Structure 1
C-alpha cells in the first residue's frame, strides 16, 4: 500500500496534495466503471478541474459559490441546538426508539449523544468515527454523528467519505442523512436532484456497511436514507425517505468491476505525470495514455468531459453519440464503420446491427427520393 501511495503521489506531482474523493465523484465513477482514466485520476487524487484548465478544455462542472454558501447555511440551521430538529425528523420518518430529547440524562433511551469526531488526518477521523459507532451501538440511545469520516475501498485504494450526518437509533439501526438545499415543494423535489442524492447516499451506506461488518454482531444499516430539504419556498426543514436498495446494489456491483488502480498505473509509460505545472503537450500525452470511456452523460459528472468529448469526436468514436447508441451498434465502434455498413460497403450482412443500418439507409433513401432530396449518407 505504501508503494502504491508513493506511485500515485508521483502521478499527481510530488508537491501536489491529493484531492479527496467524495461520494459525488464515486457515484459518477460507479456509473461509468469502464473509464480507466477517471478511475486512475480520482484514485491518485488529481484535481481534474485544474488538469482540464491546463489542457485548454476548462469545464464549468461543479457547484456554484452561491449554492455552496446557501447549502452550508441550511445545514447549520438543520443541525442547530444539538441537532434537535434533525433528530425529530429522523424519529418522525424512521422511528427506531422513543422521541429524542436533548438534555436527557445518560441511560435514558431518549437521550442524545453527539460524540466528538475530531482527529488528525482522514485516517484518524475514520478510526475515530468507527470507534464512536461501536460505542453508540452499545448505548441503546440516540447518537448523532456530525460529518463523520468513512473509509471505502475503491479498486484497491482507500477513499475517505464525509456524509452530512449518521444517526444511530436506540434500536441499533444506523441511518445516513443527506441534507440538500434544493426545495421540496408539496412534499416532492426535483426527480433528477433526488436521484443524484440517492446515488450519493448509497455510496455512504455502502461505506457504513463496511464499518458495521467489523462488529459482532453487525448492526443493521438502514437502506432507507433520510433526505432533508427546505420546505416549499421557505428555509424550514422538511424530510422524505429515500429507499436506496437499487442504487446500493448498482454501486456495489459497478465499483467491484473497476480495474485495480495499481494495475492501471503499472501500464503507464515510465515517467508519466499529471502535474499541472508540466507543459500542455506533455500533459495531453499523459492523459491520452490512459483509456477513457466517454459518453455524453460525462458532461454532468466529470471535469474532463470537454477534453474527452473533443477527442472522441476527433477519433470518430460512436460513444460520443451516447451509451444507448453504442449498445445498439455492437461491434461497430467508429462512425466511419457505421456509415460504411449503412452504405453496404463494409460489415457482415448477417450482423443484426449492420442489417438494421442498411434497412434504415434504404428507408432514408426512399424518403429523400420521394421528396427530391440528397440521398447520400
Structure 2
C-alpha cells in the first residue's frame, strides 16, 4: 500500500492517542497501520498540513531531556521521590541498565527483563528510553517512552519530559492534556509487561499517576508535576478496543489500492477516498490529512465539519441540506426533538431578522445550521 521501496513510518504514542480520540476513522487507522507517511500524502493531494513539531522545538526538547537525565538521572529520580514517593528511601544512587538490543523485538524483550530484575532488586532504577509493545487493531506497535522509573517497593512510573514551560507550577492545560493522553498509551503498554508478575499485596504495579517534567518558568531547570491519567487510561483502552481490525478495513478496498505519493493526483485521490473517514475539527491538531478531509467534508455538506457536539445534537440529520430542510418544514419528522428544536430556532431567527416564517435565507448555510 505504501508503494515499492517506501519504508514504513513507525507509529508512536502521540499517533496512537490521536487515533484513540477518533476510533471511527478507518482512513487514519489503515494509513497509520500500513506505515504510510501522511504528511507526504497530504502534500501530494494538494492539501499540505503544518502539523508537527518545529526543528527548534525538537532540538530544545532534546537538550532539556539530556539536562534532566544527566549524572545517571540523579536529578530526575529526586523529582520522582519528592513528587510521587516521599515516604520511600531517598535515591542516593540508581541503576541505569543497558537496554540496547537488535531490533525492536529484541529491545522489548530486554526492557521486560530489566523491569523484572529491577523489581526483584528493590532499588531505584531508571530505564532510559525503554521499548514497549502494544497490539492495536490486530497489529503490533512499538513505543518508546522518555523514561520509566522502578521504585524500591516495585512500583513502575512513566516519565514524560516536555519542553513547554511550567510557569508558577502550572503549564498550558491543553498541552498537559495532550501529554496525559500520550502517557496513558505508555501506561497501557507497560501494564502488558506487568501482567507476568502481580504484587503480593494485590496492588497495581504500574502507577496510573505519571510524572510530567518541564522547564521551570523561563529557565532550563526542571520542574515536576504529578498527573493522574486514570481517565485517559480508561478512555484510550476502550477506544483502542473499538478499532476495526486493519485486515477487515483492507479487505473492503478495491484490489491494488496504493498510497504512494508519486502516483497521479487523480489516482491518489481515488485511493484515499476509497477508505472511509470520520472528520472532526479536532483532527486539525492531530492529523496531517485534516485539511484534505475538511475540504471533502465541507464539499459533501457533512455536519461533522461543524464539530462533534453539533453532530450529536442533530440525531439522524447528517448533512447541512437536511438540517436546513428540516428547519424550514420541508422535510423531517415533526415529532423528532432535533427537528422540533430546529424549527423553533428557525422561527426565532426569522422573527429576529424581520423575515416571514416561511422565508429561507441562504446567505450562510453553516450560520443557518448553527
Q: TM-score range by the shorter chain?
A: over 0.9
Identify which range, 26-35 or 130-139, moves more after superposition. 130-139
Cα offset, 1:216, TM superposition: 4.8
SS in 2 for 1:171: coil
Match of 1:130? 112
Cα offset, 1:15, TM superposition: 1.0
Residue 321 in 1 paired to residue 312 in 2?
A: no
Match of 1:100? 91
Contact 1:141–1:170 (CA under 8 A) maintained in structure 2 = yes
Identify which range, 218-227 or 191-200, moves more after superposition. 218-227
SS in 2 for 1:12: coil
SS in 2 for 1:144: strand
Cα offset, 1:370, TM superposition: 7.3
Residue 63 in 1 paired to residue 53 in 2?
A: yes
Give the TM-score of the pair, scaled to structure 2. Answer: 0.94
Match of 2:129? 147
Which of 237, 245, 264 lines up with 2:222 in the alignment?
A: 237
1:1-377 to structure 2, matched below 5 A, reads 11-95=1-85, 97-102=88-93, 112-217=94-199, 220-369=205-354, 376-377=361-362
Identify which range, 203-212 or 273-282, moves more after superposition. 273-282
Q: What are the Cα deviations for residues 31-74 of structure 1, in whole angstroms up to 9, with x where unaligned?
A: 10000000111111111001101111100000010000000000
Contact 1:364–1:375 (CA under 8 A) maintained in structure 2 = no
Pair 301,375 (structure 1): closer, same or farther in 2 beyond 3 Å: same
Cα offset, 1:361, TM superposition: 0.5
Match of 1:108? none
The 1-side partners of 2:102 and 2:43 are apart by 32
Cα offset, 1:14, TM superposition: 3.4
The 2-side partners of 1:62 and 1:176 are apart by 23
The 2-side partners of 1:86 and 1:180 are apart by 13
The 1-side partners of 2:38 and 2:220 are apart by 34
Identify which range, 68-77 or 275-284, moves more after superposition. 275-284
Q: What are the Cα deviations for residues 181-239 of structure 1, in whole angstroms up to 9, with x where unaligned?
A: 11111111111111111110101001101111133558610011000011111110010
Cα offset, 1:375, TM superposition: 5.5
Cα offset, 1:120, TM superposition: 1.7
Match of 1:5? none
Contact 2:198–2:205 (CA under 8 A) maintained in structure 1 = no
Cα offset, 1:144, TM superposition: 0.5
Cα offset, 1:134, TM superposition: 1.4
Contact 1:179–1:228 (CA under 8 A) maintained in structure 2 = yes
SS in 2 for 1:220: coil
Q: Which runs of 5+ in 1 are unaligned?
A: 1-10, 103-111
SS in 1 for 2:166: coil
The 1-side partners of 2:184 and 2:40 are apart by 28
Identify which range, 93-102 or 144-153, moves more after superposition. 93-102
The 2-side partners of 1:168 and 1:265 are apart by 41
Task: Count residues with an aligned counterpart.
Answer: 356
Cα offset, 1:376, TM superposition: 2.1
Pair 186,259 (structure 1): closer, same or farther in 2 beyond 3 Å: same
Cα offset, 1:156, TM superposition: 0.5
Pair 202,376 (structure 1): closer, same or farther in 2 beyond 3 Å: same
Contact 1:52–1:303 (CA under 8 A) maintained in structure 2 = yes
Q: Which runs of 5+ in 2 are unaligned?
A: 363-370
The Cα RMSD (Å) is 1.4
The 2-side partners of 1:279 and 1:214 are apart by 50
